[in-house]
Amino acid sequence: GDSVTQMEGPVTLSEEAFLTINCTYTATGYPSLFWYVQYPGEGLQLLLKATKADDKGSNKGFEATYRKETTSFHLEKGSVQVSDSAVYFCALSGFNQGGKLIFGQGTELSVKP
């Protein structure tokens, strides 16, 4: 079945450091790919998405590119802030799956001043 694998956390960075969180997937067909972020005590917020190969999703300085050849959707940000501390989930949604999201295990990011 479809699955998503994320790099394990927690990840601790200093403010203004470069961030990469790796995400790879296994799916039949051409899924849509998402990054969600969960701040402490809150629900999940959509950070960015990509619906086809070579699409780049971007939001709030975060970027991820849908790479079909490597089945990857790595999240990057050039300069992290303390306010980016949260748990990040990579997810996919397959065609005709009723909107069902398959989540990775989540990566906890802690940014220190």
Partner 1 sequence: DTEVTQTPKHLVMGMTNKKSLKCEQHMGHRAMYWYKQKAKKPPELMFVYSYEKLSINESVPSRFSPECPNSSLLNLHLHALQPEDSALYLCASSQDNRAGFDSPLHFGNGTRLTVT
Which residues of this protein are in contact with partner 1, per CB under 8 A? 32, 34, 36, 41-46, 49, 51, 87, 89, 93, 95-96, 98-101, 103-106, 108
Q: How far apart are CA 61 and CA 72, in angstroms?
A: 19
Specify the DSSP element, H or E, that contains 91: strand 86-93
Closest CA to 50 of 106, 93, 83, 7: 93
Q: How far is the CB of 100 from partner 1 (least distance, A)?
A: 6
Q: How far is the CB of 98 from partner 1 (least distance, A)?
A: 5
Contacts of 56 (CB under 8 A, 6+ apart): 50, 63, 64, 65, 66
Residue 17 or 22: the one with the smaller Cβ distance to partner 1 is: 22
Q: How far is the CB of 77 from partner 1 (least distance, A)?
A: 20
Residue 99 or 113: the one with the smaller Cβ distance to partner 1 is: 99
